[in-house]
Amino acid sequence: LLQLSVPLNFIGFVYREIRQGLTDIEQMFDLLEVEAEVKDRPDATTLQIRQGAIAFKDVHFAYDENRPILKGLSFEVPAGKTVAIVGPSGAGKSTISRLLYRFYDIQQGSITIDGQDVRAVTQKSLRTAIGMVPQDTVLFNDTIAYNIRYGRLSATDEEVSAAAEVAQIGTFLRNLPHGYDTMVGERGLKLSGGEKQRVAIARTILKAPPILILDEATSALDTTTEQEIQSALDIVSKNRTTLVIAHRLSTVIGADEIIVLRDGKIAERGTHQGLLEADGLYASMWNRQREATQAEEHLRKVRDSD
Ligand code: ATP
């Protein structure tokens, strides 16, 4: 009996090992599937940034071939300028940022940076050149200092705190009992959406990329937080080619050009003032949002006076 139990245990051990191995392989395939969406061409070159000008030419894209999302989109973000994309929910705004970062390949047209097609360069060089401030930043279960330094691992402590100050989160961090050594993430301090976004901005300041994508949070932020984030963003986007995916209109007033997207096409384009004067879709979105903000403020006052 004893003699038999050893090999049986052993078989159990081997079985568990194999099963674990299979699960790992399955997980690996899951990961690969996500990654396999786009691949570097065998002859992929390193993206050479000269000025950092972005051009979308007649871009057609669908996640699912039966449902086109972008139907022939053309626009440029000249070097150092800021272009904001606005439009109704589901219009394809965030999709544009994912295509520039090449999470997916387009079906027709081209997306170029300084004349180089994003499909012809390595993903590594593309993603090194672009700083992305996403809607929802994932924080590592580590210190806040590590989370900021992730933008550039060689950054000194002084550079990390300087970036945090510019990102308007320095005061908050300095006042934490453990300061920059505070653990954050799932097992640490939970940060609000606005705080996380400022951590992402601090990371991006350290990374100092020539091209910036700001995918604004959909969630409403209070006015003070919004203004703090806005001034941090104004600093990072200065003299950088910036594409703003705007879900709120207050952030786009200063953009060099605003593109209004509807049904996968450009419905209107111009400056804030020009679009208000044109009195079209943008003007009606603007008025609606202003009314909503006023209603919210009124509600808050009523509540506060109780
Ligand atoms: P919002 O302002 O609500 O964030 P948006 O304009 O940024 O909207 P996108 O996120 O670009 O919209 O999505 C455009 C459309 O593509 C939506 O109808 C969405 O359901 C669809 N979509 C987005 N991501 C995927 C995906 N991974 N697979 C399939 N469809 C998707």
Q: What is the pLDDT of residues 176-195, one digit of tens each?
A: 999 999 999 888 888 888 88
Closest ligand 1 atom to residue 98 Cα is: 11
pLDDT: is 119 or 295 the higher one? 119
Among 33, 38, 60, 69, which residue has the most ligand 1 atoms within 8 Å of its CB, making it the best to mutate? 69
**CA-nearest residue, atom 1 of ligand 1:** 89
Q: What is the ipTM of this complex?
A: 0.96
Mean pLDDT of the chain: 87
Using CA positions, which residue lies closest to atom 26 of ligand 1? 63
Q: Which atom of ligand 1 is nearest to the CA of 245?
A: 7
Which amino acid residue places its CA nearest to atom 2 of ligand 1?
89
What spacing in Å lies between the alpha carbon of 94 and ligand 1's midpoint?
Answer: 7
Quick one: three-class SS letters along the chain? CHHHHHHHHHHHHHHHHHHHHHHHHHHHHHHHHHHCCCCCCCCCECCCCCCCCEEEEEEEEEEECCEEEEEEEEEEECCCCEEEEECCCCCCHHHHHHHHCCCCCCCEEEEEECCEECCCECHHHHHHHEEEECCCCCCCCCEHHHHHHCCCCCCCHHHHHHHHHHCCCHHHHHCCCCHHHCEECCCCECCCHHHHHHHHHHHHHHHCCCEEEEECCCCCCCHHHHHHHHHHHHHHHCCCEEEEECCCHHHCCCCCEEEEEECCEEEEEECHHHHHHHCCHHHHHHHHHHHHHHHHHHHHHHHHHC
Residue 11, pLDDT score: 63
Cα 200 to ligand 1 centre (Å): 22
**Cα 69 to ligand 1 centroid, rounded to whole Å:** 8
Nearest residue (CA) to ligand 1, atom 11: 92
**Does the structure show a pLDDT above 70 at 8?**
no
Task: For ligand 1, atom 22, name the residue with the nearest CA.
Answer: 63
The model's confidence at residue 32, banded by pLDDT at 50, 70 and 90, is very low
